Structure 1
Amino acid sequence: MSIKENIESDLKTAMKAKDELRLRVLRSLKAKILEKEISERKGGEAEISDEQTVDVLMKAAKQRKDSITQFREGDREDLAENEEQELVIIEEYLPKMMSEDEIREVVRKKIAETGASGPQDMGKVMGPLMGQLKGKADGSLVSSVVKSELSN
C-alpha cells in the first residue's frame, strides 16, 4: 500500500472515529498531495511516487517545526502544543529518519570521497549528500554534521 493510499485509508478511519485532530491533519496532507499531483500532471493522470509523497510530508513536517519554534518565541505555548500534535501524526507516515551517528558515518565517507578539507568545501560535500540522503535524514541536521566534521 502506498503512503497516499495509507493516508486515505486512515482518513476514513478518523472520520468514523470522529478524531478531529487526525482528521484535520490527514485532510491537509491529502490536499497537499493532490496539489503536488496537479502540479506534476502533464496532459493525463499523474500519480506521484512514494518518494514525491515523502517530499510533501517532509515539507509539511518542516512547516510544523518552524511554527513550533515561532510560537514558542512568541510565548504561545498553546499553539506550539497543537503544532506538535500535528507533527506527531505527520511523522507516522514518514520513513524512519537516520540518527545523527548514522549521518556522521555517511558524512565522513563523503568527505573522504570528495577530498573536502575545510568549511570552504561545504558545497562540494552537501550537494551529493543531500541527493543520497533525501527522505532519509533531516537536511538541517545533515548540514550541522557536515559543518562540524569539516571544522575538525
Structure 2
Amino acid sequence: MSLLEQINSDMKAAMKAKAKDKLQAIRALKTAFTLEMTKTGASELDDDSAVKLVQKLVKQRKDSADTYKSGGREDLADKELLEMGFLEVYLPAQLSDEELTTAIQEIVAKTGASSMKDMGKVMGMASKQLAGKADGKAIADKVKAVLA
C-alpha cells in the first residue's frame, strides 16, 4: 500500500471516528500532496517525495509550536504538537543517536574525510543515505561531532 493510499484510508477512519484534530492534520497533509502533484504535473507522488513532504510538514509544526511557546501561547503550541504527532506516523522509523553516529562514521570512512573541510562531501552522502531516517539538523550536528 502506498503512502497516499494509507493516508486516504486513515482519513476515512478519522471521519468515521469523528476525530476532528486527526482529520484536520490528515487533510492538511493531503492538501500538501495535491499542491505538490499540481506543481510538478505528476499524477501521483512516489513514496520518497511523499516522505520528504511529510518531513517538511512535521518540521513546520515543530517550528510553529516553538514560536507559540516562546510567545506564551501554550494552547496553540499544544495543538501544533498534537498535529505533529498525527503526521509523524507516516515517517519511517527514526535512527537512534547511536545508529546515527555509526552511520555517519561509516560515511566518513567511505569518503575518506579527515577534517571539517570535508563536511560538504560527507553531508551530501549522509543526506542521501539517511533521508527520512534522521532530521537534517541532527545529521549536520553529528557530522560536525565526528569530524571535530
TM-score (norm 2): 0.95
Name the aligned partner's letter for residue 129 of structure 1. Answer: A
Alignment map for 1:109-124 (pairs within 5 Å): 109-124=106-121
| Matching residue within 140, 143, 146 for 1:146 | 143
Runs of 4+ in 1 over 6 A off after TM superposition: none
- What residue number does 1:20 align with? 20
Deviation at 1:76, TM superposition (A): 1.4
| Matching residue within 90, 95, 106 for 1:98 | 95
Deviation at 1:120, TM superposition (A): 2.3
TM-score (norm 1): 0.92
Deviation at 1:30, TM superposition (A): 0.4
- What residue number does 1:66 align with? 63
* Stretches of structure 1 lacking an aligned partner (at least 5 in a row): none
- What residue number does 1:134 align with? 131
Name the aligned partner's letter for residue 27 of structure 2. Answer: R
- What residue number does 1:33 align with? 33
Secondary structure of 1:136's aligned partner: coil
Give the aligned CA root-mean-square deviation in angstroms: 1.1
Work out the percentage of aligned pairs sharing the same amino acid.
Answer: 42
**Residues of 2 paired with 1:32 and 1:58: CA distance?**
12
Deviation at 1:21, TM superposition (A): 0.2
**Residues of 2 paired with 1:141 and 1:34: CA distance?**
29
Q: Provide the aligned length of Structure 1 versus Structure 2.
A: 148
Deviation at 1:104, TM superposition (A): 0.6
| Matching residue within 47, 69, 84 for 1:87 | 84
**Residues of 2 paired with 1:83 and 1:22: CA distance?**
11
**Residues of 2 paired with 1:147 and 1:111: CA distance?**
11
- Would you say the 8 A contact 1:40–1:48 is kept in 2? no
